[in-house]
């Protein structure tokens, strides 16, 4: 059935983008009818799912676009939900436009952030790096694959969950970063005791069933150590690069090196080392080396990769994490924030990052 769409309305509505799918509504068959007569624009809007969290925004955007058309004095908007068959056709069309989101020909740079042991600040670094890259205009996705310590949603101050459209998931966005986390799929604050196959399935879902849109960078917060997730990721995304986070302690550097070696065995390239908790700046300008010194350099030397950043201890980074307000956004002048921002700049510079456009065309 083809319902009439007024050409002037069609042009105006073509500028309205679905905030989750990031495609114009008209391309997604979300506007089956839009007529104009006697100054009244009558528009039928069909949301992909009833509980669409972006419904209010979409409705407002449609209203505004229609009202901007010359001759329109009033907008009548009828809002409904897509029929299951239409939704299924849309999901298949989206999938068809990108059979393999992160296949070998992807232009998305994939960076897994790993550490040898827990508590070195890997998640804090990953969350802040993601926000810093997004603030520089890149389209950034973030997978929280840290099964036992899934902390990314809290660090980014969000409790939102993905929206399901058919068998696809639209990731929520926080601080400009699209994210999914294992924590979004467990009730309450339970720990996850999944082992190999279950983990592999979940990671695979994050890579294939989440509609990421065009990403410049996909960051993955890995669990500490050298476990199942590292091996799964090596299989699912063999062309991912790995960033290794360590503290300045020599012993920490040794375990970090082991994590990097596992990544290498699965064919991934180690990009470099980030030394976190690298001293506490003192009021007199000196640095109190609370966790020793030299671990980052040592790990970088042994792995034959560069030391990409040295991030000092910072109360602002810690409290920003606790409050869900990443320090790179809340206090960019803080020395730890500045070090992470410089890291984001350097990663941006090491390879041209370009988004690709794979427009889907209406069937
Ligand atoms: N540079 C820093 N200065 C001050 N506190 C920091 C810094 N980096 C991390 N922290 C704090 O250290 C704690 C551990 O950090 P985080 O959770 O990021 O580590 P992690 O390596 O991801 O741990 P796990 O993998 O075990 O979840 C947090 O409370 C965090 O706020």
Nearest CA to ligand 1 atom 26: 118
- Provide the residue-wise pLDDT of the chain in tens; the chain has 363 residues: 455 889 999 999 999 998 888 888 998 989 999 999 999 999 999 998 887 788 899 999 999 999 999 999 999 999 999 998 888 888 888 877 766 778 777 889 999 999 988 889 999 999 999 999 999 999 999 999 887 778 999 999 999 888 888 878 899 999 999 999 988 877 665 555 566 667 788 888 888 889 898 899 999 998 887 777 777 887 888 888 999 999 999 888 888 888 888 888 878 889 999 999 999 988 898 889 888 888 999 999 989 999 999 999 999 999 999 999 999 999 999 999 999 999 999 998 655 444 443 334 433
Tokens of 205: 């879902």
Question: Which of 128, 227, 279, 318 to probe ligand 1 with, by most ligand atoms within 8 A of CB?
Answer: 318
What residues flank ligand 1, with Cβ below 6 Å? 115, 118-124, 146, 149, 151, 224, 276-277, 311, 313-314, 317-318, 321, 336
Q: 36 CA distance to ligand 1 centroid (A)?
A: 57
Is the ipTM higher than 0.85? The answer is yes
Position 352 scores a pLDDT of: 41
Q: Which domains does the chain have, with CATH numbers?
A: 7-97 (3.30.300.130), 109-350 (3.40.50.300)
3-state DSSP assignment of residue 28: helix
Prediction pTM value: 0.83
DSSP per position, 277-331: S--EE-TTS-EE-TT-S-HHHHHHHHHT--EEEEE---HHHHHHHHHT--HHHH-
Atom of ligand 1 nearest to the CA of 314: 3
Q: 323 CA distance to ligand 1 centroid (A)?
A: 14
């Amino acid at each position: 059935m083809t319902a009439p769409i007024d050409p002037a309305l069609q042009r105006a509505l073509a500028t309205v983008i679905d905030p989750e799918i990031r495609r114009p509504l008209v391309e997604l068959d979300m506007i089956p009818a839009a007529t104009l007569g006697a100054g009244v624009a009558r528009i039928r809007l069909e949301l992909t799912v009833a509980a669409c969290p972006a419904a209010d925004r979409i409705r407002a955007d449609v209203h505004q676009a229609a009202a901007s058309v010359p001759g329109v004095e009033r907008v009548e908007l009828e809002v409904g939900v897509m029929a299951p068959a239409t939704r299924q056709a849309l999901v298949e069309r989206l999938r068809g436009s990108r059979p393999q989101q992160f296949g070998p020909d992807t232009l998305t740079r994939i960076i897994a952030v790993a550490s040898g042991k827990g508590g070195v600040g890997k998640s804090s670094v990953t969350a802040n790096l993601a926000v810093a890259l997004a603030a520089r205009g890149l389209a950034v996705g973030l997978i929280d694959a840290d099964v036992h310590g899934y902390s990314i949603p809290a660090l980014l101050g969000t409790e939102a969950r993905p929206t399901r459209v058919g068998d696809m998931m639209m990731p929520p966005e926080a601080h400009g970063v699209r994210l999914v986390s294992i924590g979004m799929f467990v009730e309450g604050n339970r720990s996850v005791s999944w082992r190999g196959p279950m983990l592999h399935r979940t990671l695979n879902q994050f890579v294939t069933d989440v509609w990421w849109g065009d990403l410049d960078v996909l960051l993955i917060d890995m669990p500490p150590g050298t476990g199942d997730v590292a091996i799964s990721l090596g299989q699912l995304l063999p062309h991912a690069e790995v960033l290794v986070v360590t503290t300045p302690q020599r012993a920490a550097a040794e375990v970090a090196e082991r994590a990097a070696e596992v990544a290498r065995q699965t064919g991934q390239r180690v990009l470099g080392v980030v030394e976190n908790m690298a001293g506490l700046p003192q009021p007199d300008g000196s640095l109190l080396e609370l966790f020793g010194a030299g671990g980052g350099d040592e790990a970088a030397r042994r792995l034959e990769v560069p030391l990409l950043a040295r991030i000092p201890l910072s109360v602002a980074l810690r409290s920003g994490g606790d409050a869900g307000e990443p320090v790179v956004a809340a206090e960019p002048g803080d020395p730890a924030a500045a070090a992470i921002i410089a890291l984001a700049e350097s990663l941006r510079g090491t390879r041209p990052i370009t988004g690709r456009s794979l427009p889907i065309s209406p069937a």
